[in-house]
Structure formats: structure tokens, C-alpha cells
Structure 1
């Protein structure tokens, strides 16, 4: 028997997918134009990686063994729960890529501010090493738990229904099964 929460589940799917779409829109708009000498620097490589991750997430097919909606409330409940999990995993992946890309953009802007259109030279070395270290530190701080906490805090602040959102452990399990 259905528990009467299918409307709440459907609303949750729409909320998660809206967040996912917004994150994808941001990631697709990333533009960095490094010179040939800068192309393989850590920050620029990171930005390309985040863009590629966003494309991979979009290309990952939805796989559900719950079948199509047939008007049966229990089957609809199962299908909606599967969609919530899939959408939450994709949103998690996009949020992680977004946070990493944002760190890369800060690195790029700091680098441009330090260089001010000049070629890197010995006078820039210390400052450039410092921003490289900051980037690495930010990336280390962007753990799965941190990513999940940013999403959960945002959803909680907006008063969203989170009863059937997957836990971080469930998200990690789905991600491991896809790799």
C-alpha cells in the first residue's frame, strides 16, 4: 500500500532536478583561456576536469529496476524513490564539481591578479606557489562529507522535505557501483 507521500516525493524530484540543472548550467559556462605554457597548470587542468565531469554526469543513463508508472501507488512510490536517489547522486556529483571548479576559478583570478598581464618571473614565484598551495588545500577540504553538508544545509534552510534523500553512505555506494 502506498503511504500517501507520492506527491511529496514528486515535488522532491523536481527540487533536486532544478538544483542539478542550475549546477550543470554553471559548469557548462566555465571558460578559461590559458596560454600554451599555462595549459597544464593545476588550476586550468582542474577546470577542464570539472567540465568533463559535468558532461559525464549528463551522459550517465538512468537505470531503475522498478519499472514504469502504471497508476499503482506502490509502484509509483518505488519509482519515485529510485528517481530521488538517482537525482540526488547526480546533484551531489555536480555540487562536488561546482565546488572544485569554484576553487579553480579563485586560483585563476588570483593568478591573473598576481601576474597583471605579465609573464611569470622570479618576482612572482612566492605568490604563485602560495595560490597553488591554497588551491590544493581547498581541494582537500572538499570532501564528500563537506559536499553533502553543503547540500543538506541548503535544503534544510529552504525547508525542503528530506525524509527519503539518500545518506552520504548510500550516495557513495551508488557512485562506487557506477565506476
Structure 2
């Protein structure tokens, strides 16, 4: 028998998908125009990679083997749980790409601030190396646990129901199986 939480599950699906849509919107807006000499620099490569990841997340089809829920509350419950997991995994992937892209944009802004429209030269070397190092440190700090915690903190702060959100281990398992 159903537990009466299907309305809460349906609302949770909508919340997660709205977050996913917002993250996708942000990621598609990223614009960087490196020169030919800068094209392969770490930060610009990262920004292209994040945009590509966002596109590839959209291309993964939803795989549900629960069939049509119909009017059976228990089947609806199972289907909603599957959808919550799929949506949460996609949102996790987008959040990770968003956080990485944000680090890349900070790197790009730092680089532009250092160069102030000039071509890089020896006087910029140490500052540019520091910007590169900061980017690498930020990326190392963006672990799966950090990404998952950032989402949980945001959801908890907004008072959202998290009762059936997948754990980090479940998210990682789904990602490994794709």
C-alpha cells in the first residue's frame, strides 16, 4: 500500500528539475573568447569541457523500466522514486560542471585583471602562475562530496523535503553504470 507521500515526491521531482534547468541555463550562457595563443590554456579548456558536459547530460536518455503508473499509487511511488534518482543524478552532474565552470570564470577574470589587455610577458609570469595554481587548488577542492553537500545545504536551507534523495554513493553508482 502507498505511504501517502506521492504528492511530496512529485513536488520534489519538480524542484530538482527546476534546479537542473537553472544550472543548464547558466552553463549554456558561458562565453569565453580566448585568442589562438590562449585557446589551450587550462582555464579556457575547462570552460569548454564544462559546456560540453552540460550538453552530454542532456543527451542521456531517461531509462525507466517501471512502465506506466496508471492509477496505482504503489506503482506511482516506484516510478517517482526512479525519476527522483535520475533527476538528482543529472542535477549533481550539472552542479559539478557549474562549480568547475565558476572556478574557470574566476581564473579567466583573474587573468584578464593581471594582463589588463596586454600580451603576457615576463612581468606577468608570477601572477599568471599564481592564478593557474589557484584554479588547480579550487578544482581539487571540488570533490563529489563537496558537490553533493552544496546541493543538500541549498535544499535544506530552502526547507525542501529530502527524504528520498539518493545518497552520494547511489549517485556515484548510477554514474559508474552509465
Structure 1: any 5+ residue segments left out of the alignment? none
**CA distance in structure 2 between the aligned counterparts of 1:60 and 1:33, rounded to whole angstroms:** 28
- Which residue matches 1:39? 39
Following superposition, the deviation at residue 25 of structure 1 comes to 0.2
- Which residue matches 1:152? 152
**CA distance in structure 2 between the aligned counterparts of 1:168 and 1:91, rounded to whole angstroms:** 12
TM-score by length of 2: 0.99
TM-score by length of 1: 0.99
1:87-146 deviation digits (Å, cap 9, x = unpaired) = 000000000000000000000000000000000000000000000000000000000000
Matches within 5 A, 1:6-155: 6-155=6-155
Aligned residue pair count: 178
**CA distance in structure 2 between the aligned counterparts of 1:21 and 1:70, rounded to whole angstroms:** 27
Following superposition, the deviation at residue 172 of structure 1 comes to 0.1
Following superposition, the deviation at residue 70 of structure 1 comes to 1.1
**CA distance in structure 1 between the aligned counterparts of 2:100 and 2:54, rounded to whole angstroms:** 12
Following superposition, the deviation at residue 5 of structure 1 comes to 0.3
